[in-house]
Amino acid sequence: MQNVRLKTSGICCIFVCLLFCGCSLLAGKVYSHAFNRIEELPDEQFSVYLRWKDIEQIGQIEQNKYKRSEVHFYSGENRLLGFIYGETNNRGLVVVSQGLGNTTENYLSLIMFFVDKGWRVFAYNNTGVGSSQGESVRGLTQSVFDLDAALKFINQSGAFNNLPIMLLGHSWGGYASCAILNFDHKINAVASFAGFNNGSEVIDKLSVFTVGRIYNLFAGNVRDIERQMFGDKMKLTAVDGINKSNIPVMIVQSIDDDVIFADSISIYAHRDKITNPNAQIVFFDGEEATGHEFVFYSIQQREYLKWADESWKSYKAKNKNVSRFQWAKAVNFDVFKANELNAPLMERINAMFLAAAR
């Protein structure tokens, strides 16, 4: 997840500041800063992720297949930007929820996969992300509010022909895609990549990990901020949603995830509380370990990125004052290789979705 470590550090800075001030007003300002806006990268800036401009590299027929149309809907007072891909596909609708630090474009490889399989895809930028409105992303529970708003828009719109709905989310979105099942939306199946179980739990664990147990002296200030923003919804857990729904849910987690720790704050860590008989877990360890950002990518993708890192270091050592963007052009960096999906995993998810759509 691009910039997610910076976001994690920003969250922990809240509590460092609280150590020195104990002021609820300042705490609110620092909290807001920790969850500040996420802007899209300019075209000139290098990214290992596929971006919409990269679609121009493929042939005209293929390019037309991935055309998208813009839509807008409201989450609270903020107008959010969404995209519909594969508008003539009628197998079902896959709703993609992003991770914190990303925009919807970071998931183009997933979107293209499902379009290829005959699905219509709906992806959107959360509050405070990219072209969506919002002074900040507000907090970890906001992803559930935004997904709720997206699903209401889908149900009220005449553009989706009452298609069966599948949810696909990563990290922040992996949590939202399961926690939303506590609501009354008609959802057929869910795939959650590296999702956490509860937002408050994430803040608590990461804060104690960073600043120590002294954080407990100020945890109440943080709870007050969350309660003011999200009310009782701050207590929503992914596991409760999974159990309430009883629909097919796939939880994907890697042992070496250094953002959503597999042994504590992940949905996977709470697997003993899952009672839904239709839930399944995919756990990567050993040579298959994928980390956090690339949990649904192939081994070949990770090998290509290792080569890219070594190539960049060598290029930078030989060329002063160069950017990674310049390096990428010089070595003909293949962004499609850098976004190669884990084919067996994706086929397994597709099969689950197909069965749920019948």
Q: For each of the chain's 358 residues, which pLDDT tens digit applies?
A: 445 544 555 555 555 554 445 456 555 666 766 789 999 988 888 999 999 888 877 766 676 889 999 999 999 999 999 999 999 999 999 999 999 999 999 999 999 999 999 999 999 999 999 999 999 999 999 999 999 999 999 999 988 989 999 999 999 999 999 999 999 999 999 999 999 999 999 988 877 777 677 777 777 888 888 999 999 999 999 999 999 999 999 999 999 999 999 999 999 999 999 999 999 999 999 999 999 999 999 999 999 999 999 999 999 999 999 999 999 999 999 999 999 999 999 999 999 999 999 9
Q: 238 and 179 in contact (C-beta within 8 Å)?
A: yes
Task: Tell me which long-range contacts 12-15 makes (C-beta under 8 A, separation of at least 24).
Answer: 12/206, 12/207, 12/210, 12/211, 14/207, 14/222, 15/207, 15/210, 15/211, 15/215, 15/218, 15/222
Give the model's pLDDT for residue 158.
Answer: 85
pLDDT, position 221: 80
Q: At what angle do helices 219-230 and 4-21 cross, to 10 degrees?
A: 120
Q: What gap in Å lies between CA 130 and CA 252, rounded to an integer?
A: 27
Cβ pair 12, 182 in contact under 8 A: no
DSSP reduced 3-state for 280: strand
Do the bridges between strand 78-85 and strand 68-75 make them parallel or antiparallel, or are there none, so unpaired? antiparallel
Closest to 233 (Cα-Cα) out of 153, 142, 97, 170: 142
- Whole-structure pTM over 0.95, yes or no? no
Query: d(Cα 180, Cα 141) in Å, to the nearest integer?
Result: 10
d(Cα 358, Cα 353) in Å, to the nearest integer? 9
Residue showing tokens 């987690």:
253
CA angle 223, 202, 78 (to 5 degrees): 70
pLDDT attached to residue 2? 43
Helix H or strand E segment including 97? strand 93-97
CB–CB of 159/122 below 8 Å?
no
pLDDT reported for residue 19: 45
pLDDT at 6: 42
Q: Look at strands 249-254 and 189-193 and give their pairing.
A: parallel
All domains in the chain, ordered by first residue: 4-39+68-294+344-357 (3.40.50.1820)
